[in-house]
Structure 1
């Protein structure tokens, strides 16, 4: 019986995998054999990286590495427990104070991942008596956080303020109203209409939460994100971000009022029940924040290169989504063609994998390009040449 059951088990899983392959959505891991930099070695092949979220190019910065090494030698390899038991190091407290200042907030709290930060905030702040309004293109971690919160969740059309207003108007019976949005949308690279969201929140007595994973280090006068970009740091009550993209370490955070952060320490399950991030990671993140604040020229260079990539692709005839961030989606359409295009780009020496459903809607598969501050104008020339050659072979140009 056990053998028959095992065979049926394998058959069911194989059938599901075959269906994924039939739809052109099968995924395989690609092995990186080098540090995440402007050039990488992928499974033994040197390639120019144009798909990393390492926007400021800090992941292999010698200062970051040295900060990690010092922390490693001083505090050891692991944190040994949760922050509320044995895992709270002085480095964690220093980083949280640093994040709060960077985000122009009273306090901050660090989580092991950005995913966990969103789950923590949404489940701790909203429950069955509350309602959450979520942009339809929000990150999966926000979607999952909304589900786990048990609050009523209403999805409004992407960046559609008329739709959001109409939905807010019918929500007076709920105890708490929370509007949550990505600051920069990860797959399209567009920026949330935060001034209009804040205006509606004030009109309907709602709270605003912004996921700044892809805006931190990139947007704003100080590089601190979407609220900084629009001059709304004091109006956005809950500011989430990651330590794993521009900050080039690992983890996530929530910044806000002292009361908010104290509540999360006491109620957020991903914080309470997770072993704390190791000191070496925290030290690297702290170093990155110092670099971001002291070297604004990185953002200037990044913006210039991103503009050049966009205009160059448009001149080639590519379908480039509008925006002004380092995320530059080139729409392909069907998943199979997108995979072929990624393969041809790799033949030309550029690593930029295809993005397919369910990450993006059906029919909108794409090459999601990202620019880094460590890229050069020569790198951009190589990218545009690769797109021209690959696009012609695939039949897109």
Structure 2
């Protein structure tokens, strides 16, 4: 049902017409807003029952690391729970500055600016940099925050087909050469786990004088040397102008960042609306992210383990006959297609003790629903073998 195709006399009318969620709830197939009682990394407690958590972004299992938890606890004791102000005014703390120095150094960049969420990082960067008569060019599969940021900015949004280099060149060639432009892509695409074609994108972008930004939310900690992300993986860190990311995945906290040249980051600091008009990242969140960053660098074996687990699960799912696409990351999609079957498989897996994410339209195109799995460094072979056993049983049961 299209709830937004036309205006209503009463703006609440669309709420009454929205019945799909209630229908799924009655069928026991509503996959959203599931309550997690306790997060234990590879295991979670849901509705009082232990499940294998195969749906989180806790790639290195650092949310349960004692050092991360202790850092957050110490920050609360010493600095309280919040600064209750924006970064611009009374909301900047020394923990923010320490974290910014650490992130900038990790990526080999001059400067970093920390935001309250990864979503806000993209909003701040794009709203500051893309002005009237300027263009933001994005991959159609980019994260929703990039689309929303483009609407907030004053420039014009153009998109190219997912990872289609010919289409990117077509779009860039169509733009006025005298106008500023920036190409922005996800480093790792969040639904299917595939990588952006960064070497070719850099080459084409430079050909047309476009700046390049990579949102590496899902690449940090899992891709590249010591988990430094997609730009380092391809050896193109010096060719990409800006990198945005989040602390809510590998770095076991919440918040976002942008790294780049000192001059550009300083400009975003003064003109990025999401940092100017939002309360700053709470001190315990900043402390947790900094502790996680330190562990990432001190324990590179975690990166090796998550890669090995991802390869093991993907390889064995493929042997069982499942289509897992072209993922090269811990995000492993299992393509189903039919929406109702996807929901039934999600529910059966949860009942059997495995949590995965059901991804439906509009998160993916119609009739291309999937089960999105993601592994961590802390999953054991026993965890993954249990998952494979259940997938195999459901495949036989549903002739899928």
TM-score when normalising by structure 1: 0.94
1:378 aligns with 2:382: yes
Which secondary structure state, in structure 1, belongs to the residue aligned with residue 243 of structure 2?
Answer: strand
Unaligned runs of at least 5 residues, structure 2 = 1-9
The answer to whether the 8 A contact 1:77-1:280 is kept is yes
1:200 aligns with 2:204: yes
- Give CA-to-partner distance per residue, 1:217-244, whole Å, 9 cap, x none: 1111121111011111111111000000
Q: Would the alpha carbon gap of residues 160 and 12 (structure 1) be closer, same or farther in structure 2, given more than 3 Å must change?
A: closer
Identify which range, 282-291 or 168-177, moves more after superposition.
Answer: 168-177
Query: Which of residues 334, 337, 343 is equivalent to 1:333?
Result: 337
Within 5 Å, give how 1:87-102 maps onto structure 2: 87-102=91-106
1:267 aligns with 2:264: no
1:13 is aligned to 15
> How far does residue 391 in structure 1 lie from its aligned partner after superposition?
2.3
2:187 is aligned to 183
Which secondary structure state, in structure 2, belongs to the residue aligned with residue 169 of structure 1?
Answer: helix
- Give CA-to-partner distance per residue, 1:3-61, whole Å, 9 cap, x none: xxxxx887652322248848x99654211100251110112111000010001110111
1:224 aligns with 2:224: no
Question: What CA distance in whole angstroms lies between the structure 2 residues aligned with 1:253 and 1:19?
Answer: 34
The CA RMSD over aligned residues, in Å, is 1.8
The answer to whether the 8 A contact 1:131-1:174 is kept is no
1:43 is aligned to 47
Q: Would the alpha carbon gap of residues 228 and 331 (structure 1) be closer, same or farther in structure 2, given more than 3 Å must change?
A: same
The answer to whether the 8 A contact 2:95-2:283 is kept is yes
- Give CA-to-partner distance per residue, 1:190-212, whole Å, 9 cap, x none: 00010111111221111001000
The answer to whether the 8 A contact 2:124-2:274 is kept is yes
Q: Would the alpha carbon gap of residues 378 and 359 (structure 1) be closer, same or farther in structure 2, given more than 3 Å must change?
A: same
> How far does residue 117 in structure 1 lie from its aligned partner after superposition?
0.6
Question: What CA distance in whole angstroms lies between the structure 2 residues aligned with 1:53 and 1:84?
Answer: 30
2:346 is aligned to 342
Which secondary structure state, in structure 2, belongs to the residue aligned with residue 144 of structure 1?
Answer: helix
Question: What CA distance in whole angstroms lies between the structure 2 residues aligned with 1:393 and 1:75?
Answer: 55
Question: What CA distance in whole angstroms lies between the structure 1 residues aligned with 2:129 and 2:56?
Answer: 32
The answer to whether the 8 A contact 1:355-1:366 is kept is yes
Q: Would the alpha carbon gap of residues 339 and 174 (structure 1) be closer, same or farther in structure 2, given more than 3 Å must change?
A: farther
1:171 aligns with 2:193: no
The answer to whether the 8 A contact 1:348-1:390 is kept is no
Which secondary structure state, in structure 1, belongs to the residue aligned with residue 194 of structure 2?
Answer: coil
1:121 is aligned to 125
Identify which range, 29-38 or 61-70, moves more after superposition.
Answer: 29-38
TM-score when normalising by structure 2: 0.94
> How far does residue 90 in structure 1 lie from its aligned partner after superposition?
0.6
2:160 is aligned to 156
1:5 is aligned to none
1:105 is aligned to 109
Question: What CA distance in whole angstroms lies between the structure 2 residues aligned with 1:86 and 1:259?
Answer: 23
Q: Would the alpha carbon gap of residues 20 and 160 (structure 1) be closer, same or farther in structure 2, given more than 3 Å must change?
A: farther
